[in-house]
Amino acid sequence: MLYIVLLHYPVYNKEGRIITTAIANMDIHDIARVAKTYAVQGFYIVNPIPEQQNLAHEIISNWREGYGAAYNKFRHAAFELIRIEESLPAVLTDITRESGFVPKTIVTGANFSGNLLKFAELKEILQNSKLPYVLVFGTGSGIADEVVNMADYRLEPVKGPWNYNHLAVRSAVAIVLDRVMGV
């Protein structure tokens, strides 16, 4: 059982105020449709800033209940997967409540090396286990070290035939889900 997380992690500026990457409308749309295509259980958008959470709720409710829901039922089906949370621990709590098990977390990154979980290994785990797994994608400069360090696994990076790996997070989610949930 796979959940995915798009993580906007809190960063503190010199005055001690939280700054973070903003939630992009296109991230919500593209990733929700990919998640639906690959039968993901839930798509969490994590952002620590209440105004950003409200913005995401507004976009989503239009496609769930507003004009968008009637206009495009396929978009509506994808948007039903979306859940907004303020932190990664809140996501883990929510999944534990829903599934009855504490999920295993897997972080993604373009520059990981060392002992990594292979795409084929994760695909096999997901096919054979009924336990919940959470795949975490970062925005901006990737996932903060303290999140990487608390994860159960680090996933191998997506690589093409040469050493250029600067994909949009939207593209990375599409490729990774195809590799681990594709038929």
Residues at the site binding a second copy, with contacts judged by CB under 8 A: 26, 29-30, 33-34, 36-39, 74-75, 77-78, 158-162, 164-168, 170-172, 174-175, 178-179, 181-183
Least Å distance between CB 144 and a second copy? 21
What tokens appear for 92 in the block? 């883990």
Nearest residue (CB) to a second copy, 92 versus 132: 132
Task: Estimate to the nearest angstrom the gap between the alpha carbon of 122 and the chain centroid.
Answer: 16
Q: How far is the CB of 63 from a second copy (least distance, A)?
A: 13
Q: Which is nearer to a second copy, 36 or 64 (CB)?
A: 36
How far is Cα 27 from Cα 130, in angstroms, rounded to an integer?
A: 28
157 and 169 in contact (C-beta within 8 Å)? Answer: no
Cα–Cα–Cα angle for 36, 85, 32, rounded to 5 degrees: 15
Give the nearest distance from C-beta 174 to a second copy in angstroms. Answer: 4
CB nearer to a second copy: give 34 or 56: 34
Taking CA atoms, 23 is separated from 50, 66, 139, 142, in Å, by 12, 20, 9, 14
Q: Which amino acid is at 158?
A: V
Min dist CB 17 to a second copy, Å, is 24
Q: Smaller CB distance to a second copy: residue 10 or 112?
A: 112
